[in-house]
Structure 1
Amino acid sequence: MTSEVRRGEYKVAGGKLLAADVTVEDGTIVALHINGDFFLEPDDALLRLNAALVGLPESTSVTTMTARLDNAVRGAHLVGFSTDAIAVAVRRALGFATGWADHTFEIVHPDPMPPAMHLALDEVLTTDVGAGLRPPTLRIWEWSSRAIIIGSFQSLRNEVDQEQADAEGVTVVRRISGGGAMFVEPGNAVTYSLYVPASLVEGLSFEQSYAFLDDWVLGGLRSVGIDASYKPLNDITSPLGKIGGAAQKRLANGGVLHHVTMSYDMDADKMTRVLRIGREKLSDKGTKSAKKRVDPLRSQTGLPREEIIEALKSHFRERYDTVDGALSEGELARAEQLAAEKFSNPEWTARVP
């Protein structure tokens, strides 16, 4: 009979660090010790948590573990953590989930590209990370032209004033992730994509994974003087206004795409001419004007866009194990083909008319 103790950790976004020391014998959990800087009342609830998963196979899912833990602590008060966070920490201890420290991230920051190429690279690189052909990657985008990028499920005619877009020389493209429309121009936005394996967000809902994957950029923004915070579901904001938004796509092969666009120097008048931003969308935003919804990075920092991007990259390097990298010729060739055949194809752009 083989026995070993394994340790897993999970930092709750906006909460506490939680650790799980798990003892496994012949594929079965035989002991569990939860610890961390969280708060829990009453004290004996910890004993109930520790006992809740004993006897389960080590392959037990986060959903099943969470249900067991919920039942064990009914009536208790958990502050700074949750039962599903415990389950994630246990899964990490058992090797089914990974943390940031388990990966070396490649940072790539290529030259400006057209909108369709950016969206094609998102699909290519997410697929490759899922297939284990590329390490987890942070890619900084540079735009070569104006664009409207609509979400995968948005109506083209309801979101875009095509006549105005044509008059302004704005290319309209559709991405593979959901969420809302974005208007960008070269030099007016800070956009990045994270390509990670599904193991990094193992056990996290879409809502939880947004906060989890956005946490580093909040620290990066604070390093340049912005009091940034995460606002569910997918907004990055500050006391002065919204900074940007995130979108996400999980592929069947285990690749996860998480990308964010933040406004640096928004032309609000042009944005409202080319986008149809209705009253219903603004109804819960506390403002009647789309122009007042966003407060760009330039006005909040006074810094050049390039300096902000370098600060974000430096913060990412400080937090995680990273190497500087580049896109391969093969990746670029596949993306160019996909950009031409899919993301520049009117049938894809208008797949939701």
Structure 2
Amino acid sequence: MILKTAGGSPHFNIALEEALLEESAEHGITVARLWVNPDSIIVGYTSDVGREVNIEQASAEGVPVVRRISGGGAVFHDLGNVNVSVYIPRRLGVDEAYALVTSIILKTLHRLGIEGRVENGNDVAVGPWKVSGSAAAIRARATLAHATLLLTTDPSKIRRLVIPQLHRVERGEVTPVKYNPNSLERITGERMEVWQAARLLEESVKHVLGEPENVGHDILQEAVVRARELCKTKYSQKEFWSPLGLGTCREPQVAPITSPSHVL
């Protein structure tokens, strides 16, 4: 099943990531999700928020910070960025999980006539710029792998809100691309809307995962109910998951993609 979700608060959208991972494990289903978040900073499970986020600036701009269940560092989401998440009902290795989502991004770029490459295992670069980052949450019975794709996001806003961990470059742990984000619009000079990218991502998901299996409406509703509870009791309430204060649980529209035109 390939889902699209539009709207919703960052706290609910991140809760839905955990809910769909649990549904994948319980029902043995493979699910992909194409989605967008309003302005927000999404930090990794082990992220040190004080080191990775410009908290003063985020507070001044009213940008919420939400912790996700996957690893990796802080990333900025806005409506100029589209996310792709894949939930696989088995335990994958970290490298295998990264390869899964980076291949979806690479195939999407190829469809646009853009040459991309993988750097640092979980980044996709075009020239000297990072256009996509990915992370994974690996459980005993299921794996979540998700990636961003910067379409029109202003990179100066990312730099203003997310603190680059340049000591990792100095130590040789990662290449400079890791902290050099840019949007496809600024790289190519051509604007691409989210719905256009979503169509291409949908085709890339099918190429990598195969044609989506049919999943009952009950399972989808079950995931939403689960996410609703996770958001209310965890992601919007607990300081660990919502470091800058209480969040909101505004629900997105959630629906399976049933035709090529039925995207974000």
TM-score bucket of the superposed structures, by smaller chain: 0.7 to 0.9
Change (3 A) 1:286 1:212: closer
Change (3 A) 1:107 1:324: farther
Q: 2:127 aligns with which of 239, 248, 266?
A: 239
**C-alpha distance after superposition, 1:63-105 (max 9, x if no partner):** xxxxxxxxxxxxxxxxxxxxxxxxxxxxxxxxxxxxxxxxxxx
Match of 1:107 in 2: 2
* 1:162 Cα offset (Å): 1.8
Does residue 137 in structure 1 map to residue 24 in structure 2? Answer: no
For the Cα contact (< 8 Å) 2:151–2:193, is it kept in 1? Answer: no
| Aligned pairs for 1:274-285 within 5 A | 274-283=161-170, 284=172
Q: 1:171 aligns with which of 50, 64, 73?
A: 64
Counterparts of 1:192 and 1:170, CA distance in 2: 22
Amino acid at match of 2:199: E
* 1:171 Cα offset (Å): 0.6
* 1:274 Cα offset (Å): 2.0
* 1:178 Cα offset (Å): 0.5
Amino acid at match of 2:161: V
Pick the structure with greater CA Rg: 1
Does residue 228 in structure 1 map to residue 116 in structure 2? Answer: yes
For the Cα contact (< 8 Å) 1:120–1:338, is it kept in 2? Answer: yes
Match of 1:343 in 2: 235
**C-alpha distance after superposition, 1:14-62 (max 9, x if no partner):** xxxxxxxxxxxxxxxxxxxxxxxxxxxxxxxxxxxxxxxxxxxxxxxxx
| Aligned pairs for 1:248-263 within 5 A | 248-252=136-140, 254-263=141-150
For the Cα contact (< 8 Å) 1:226–1:300, is it kept in 2? Answer: no
4+ aligned runs moved over 4 Å, structure 1: 284-290, 323-327
Counterparts of 2:129 and 2:177, CA distance in 1: 14
Q: Scaled by the length of structure 1, what TM-score is found?
A: 0.61
* 1:279 Cα offset (Å): 3.0
Counterparts of 1:312 and 1:131, CA distance in 2: 26
Q: 1:128 aligns with which of 23, 31, 36?
A: 23
Amino acid at match of 1:122: E
Change (3 A) 1:163 1:310: same
Does residue 158 in structure 1 map to residue 51 in structure 2? Answer: yes
Q: Secondary structure at the match of 2:6?
A: coil
Amino acid at match of 2:65: V
Q: Secondary structure at the match of 1:192?
A: strand
Q: Scaled by the length of structure 2, what TM-score is found?
A: 0.80
- Name the structure with the higher strand share: 1
* 1:324 Cα offset (Å): 7.4
Ranges in structure 1 where 5+ consecutive residues have no aligned partner? 1-105
Root mean square deviation, CA, Å: 2.5
Q: Secondary structure at the match of 1:348?
A: coil
Q: 1:309 aligns with which of 183, 195, 198?
A: 198
* 1:124 Cα offset (Å): 0.9
* 1:216 Cα offset (Å): 3.1
Ranges in structure 2 where 5+ consecutive residues have no aligned partner? 244-264
Change (3 A) 1:156 1:240: closer
Counterparts of 1:177 and 1:311, CA distance in 2: 25
